[in-house]
Amino acid sequence: MTPAAPISPLVQAFFVEHLLRHKRASPQTVSAYRDTFCLLLGFLHATQGLEPTTVCLADLEAPTILLFLEHLEQQRQNSVRSRNARLAALRSFFRFVALRCPEALDLAARVLAIPTKRTERRLVGSLTRAEMDALLASTDPTCWAGRRDHALLLTLYNTGARVSEITALRRSEVSFGASPSLQLHGKGRKERAVPLWTRTARVLTAWFQELGPADGVAFPNTRRGPLTRHGVMYLLAEAVQRARPSCPSLTTKRVSPHVIRHTTAMHLLQAGVDPATIALWLGHESLETTHIYVEADLAMKEQALGKLAPLGPGTRRFKATDALLGFLATL
């Protein structure tokens, strides 16, 4: 296949053969890569008038890809992380192109040489216990949606589940008894069991009885289908809006399902749970991911500071006695 040939067969082979058959990529990965190609083809149509079926490899030179990435940041207001995620999808495609089409190896190498942008590593956001209690208390127990929202938010807080894990949770994956727990299917096809508080088990028992005996998703929408990611974000935003009058500190915080996950990890850490257990609880791939909560916990840092003896009055500052050392000290 020459660089002047349409890329349609390559794109189809990339998704059907490479991602699904050879790599067995997760549905989330396939969806993210699909969205990247939809955005790229839309960009080429808007800027160069190219129809998607006529786009060829020669139209995807490195300068064009760079313009597309710049478009994502400036026109679509995407973050640097989102820009890097789109670039990762395109890199995966061009690695496949390099193997499938040796004649396009130079083009693929130029695209693969596009660097990822450095991102600022910000402290993770989390809620205090009072703020989390205000969120849970803001749900309406007198209506069906309110009882569902309370059960969902409490389960999110108890388990630290990702939003994709909680929307896919089925009633049959929740076990009640002497040791209540639930099974989560996480990132990278990792499964984990998370214990439930007595309060969470009691709320879920009542909620499942209201849903009926048939198995299905644990937290359905009003049409009894699975909630979407945007649906969970919407009901959480509504809960935050209702909780703000009783908890004004929520006004200055941006609350998302992932912030609830961070809150679970932070509260476990503050309760004295070791990072290794928290990593297993949240389904982290490595302990390095869990260490971000240690960095963000100001209370732990203040305790460490309290153990540090202050400098005594007799401590003298270093003064250079040599001309060269004095010069170096001025730099």
- Per the structure block, which two tokens stand in for 296? 């963000």
State pLDDT tens for residues 209-234.
Answer: 999 888 889 999 988 889 998 999 99
Model pLDDT, residue 318: 60
Catalytic hit among 129, 187, 190, 224: 187
The continuous run of DSSP H or E covering 181 comes out as strand 181-185
If one counts every other C-beta atom within 10 angstroms of the C-beta of residue 307, the result is 6
Catalytic hit among 162, 234, 267, 319: 162
State pLDDT tens for residues 40-63.
Answer: 999 999 999 999 989 999 999 999
Mean pLDDT across 139-163? 94
Model pLDDT, residue 296: 57
Q: Which of 78, 66, 64, 80 is nearest to 35 (CA)?
A: 78
Q: Find the DSSP H helices in the chain.
A: 8-13, 27-48, 62-74, 80-100, 105-112, 129-137, 144-159, 163-168, 198-211, 229-243, 257-270, 275-282, 287-296, 298-306, 323-329
- Per the structure block, which two tokens stand in for 260? 């609830």
Is 258 among the catalytic positions? yes
Q: Is 235 exposed, middle or buried (0-12, 13-18, 19+ CB in 10 A)?
A: buried
* Non-local CB neighbours of 234 within 8 Å, separated by 6+ positions: none
The strand order across the sheet containing 181-185 reads 174-175, 181-185, 191-195
Is 33 among the catalytic positions? no
In angstroms, rounded to a whole number, what is the distance separating the alpha carbons of residues 20 and 1? 22
- 3-class SS of residue 128: coil
Q: Which of 17, 45, 237 is nearest to 135 (CA)?
A: 237
Is 187 among the catalytic positions? yes
Model pLDDT, residue 292: 67
Is 162 among the catalytic positions? yes
Is 291 among the catalytic positions? no
Q: Chain-centre distance of CA 89, in angstroms?
A: 16
Per-residue exposure over 81-118, b if at least 16 CB sit within 10 Å of its own CB, e if not:
eebbbbbebbbbbbebbbebbeebeebbeebeebeeee
Least confident residue range of 193-197, 224-228, 315-319: 315-319
If one counts every other C-beta atom within 10 angstroms of the C-beta of residue 69, the result is 21
Is 122 among the catalytic positions? no
Catalytic hit among 71, 261, 262, 267: 261
